[in-house]
Amino acid sequence: MNNFIHINNLDNLQLTVKEAIDLKTDELKFKSLGEGKTICLLFFNNSLRTRLSTQKAAQNLGMHTIVMNFGSEGWQLEFEDGVVMNENKSEHIKEAAKVISQYCDIVAIRAFASLTDKEKDEAEIVLNNFKKYANVPVLNMESSIGHPLQALADAITIEEYKAVKKPKVVLSWAPHPKALPHAVANSFVEMMQLQGADFVITHPEGYELNPEITKNSVIEYNQEKAFENADFVYVKNWSSYKKYGQVLKTDANWMINTDKMKFTNNAKFMHCLPVRRNVVVADEVIDSENSIVIQQANNRTYSAQIVLKKILENL
């Protein structure tokens, strides 16, 4: 593998999940693979799990890591061609990407959606320009429209906790005071489609994700009905896609509580974190035995590690 931009960059998701689970039994098994190699992690937005787990993953493979909070510490980058740079942008991506490439063997980027300009967000300007101008492989640590490292960690977690071959998995929208990106939900949907699983998406009307991503996945507007017989409930807020970036509803009825979980088949509760307690999910659910959010976050290391391993093997 060269770049990891999208979950489809893996040639076999199921096999990758198995390889990641194997890694967990001996996480230092490939510690000489990344010897003398460096990864640059560039953050245009906040991070906890992605930053620490990717660093841990790189370390388990013997790599060195350089981290930069680009959003607050870097020069403001210009991404457009032929611009007279006499305003607030100090450096062009053409130089920045080429310079950074000289300091590392892999460059990893986090750049959230603006949620104000759909067209620009969908063009994945930051990620795609790094891909275009960098001379090293590019790793997506959550871009405008996808978070494939999270989706891979989710696939690993479902594989570990499923009790039947084809569990029922529900992706449920939940309320949130802020406008949040679609990236996590998008990649989760794309990952579930690759699994051929029993999969249902539930959200209030008006919160449909990009239909080019949801394709023929089942959408059920009645949350309780969607939860019937669910083995996994994956919860995430996102802002409206149609009315791009808007918060249309903060209805507490969509929050996940014990009463809702009663409709399920004693389902496991999943969330990518960070999560707003008692807005998205009630304490009683996230603190229950059915909550696997901590184990899910642990799998971020092995998701990143298996991806980095594949990129290193191809350098």
Contacting ligand SN0 (CB under 6 A), which of 18, 24, 242, 276? 276
Beta-ladder partners of 281? 256, 277
Question: Shortest approach of ligand SN0 to residue 58 CB, angstroms?
Answer: 19
**Window 140 to 199, contacts with ligand SN0 (CB under 6 A):** 178, 180-181, 183-184
Three-state DSSP at 232 gives strand
Q: Is 134 in the site for ligand SN0 (CB under 6 A)?
A: no
At 147, give phi and psi (nearest 5°). Answer: -140, 70
The three-point CA angle 275-280-284 to 5° equals 90
Nearer to ligand SN0, 33 or 275 (CB): 275
Nearer to ligand SN0, 49 or 168 (CB): 49
Q: Is 277 in the site for ligand SN0 (CB under 6 A)?
A: no
User: Do 21 and 86 meet the contact criterion of CB atoms below 8 Å apart?
Assistant: no
Neighbours of 227 (CB within 10 A): 23
Nearer to ligand SN0, 63 or 280 (CB): 280
Q: Is 274 in the site for ligand SN0 (CB under 6 A)?
A: yes
Residue given tokens 């305003």 in the structure block: 87
CA pseudo-torsion sign 65, 70, 148, 122: negative
Point out which span in 56-64, 211-219, 241-249, 268-276 binds ligand SN0 (CB under 6 A): 268-276
**Window 40 to 69, contacts with ligand SN0 (CB under 6 A):** none
Question: Shortest approach of ligand SN0 to residue 81 CB, angstroms?
Answer: 29
Query: How far is it, in rounded angstroms, from Cα 98 to Cα 96?
Result: 6
Question: Shortest approach of ligand SN0 to residue 283 CB, angstroms?
Answer: 16
CA distances from 49 to 46, 153, 293 (A): 10, 11, 12
Three-state DSSP at 285 gives helix
Burial class (CB in 10 A: 0-12, 13-18, 19+), 208: middle
Contacting ligand SN0 (CB under 6 A), which of 42, 158, 169, 272? 272
Nearer to ligand SN0, 166 or 178 (CB): 178
Q: Determine the residue with CB nearest ligand SN0.
A: 180
Point out which span in 78-86, 196-204, 255-263, 270-278 binds ligand SN0 (CB under 6 A): 270-278
- Residue numbers of the site for ligand SN0 (CB under 6 A)? 178, 180-181, 183-184, 272, 274, 276
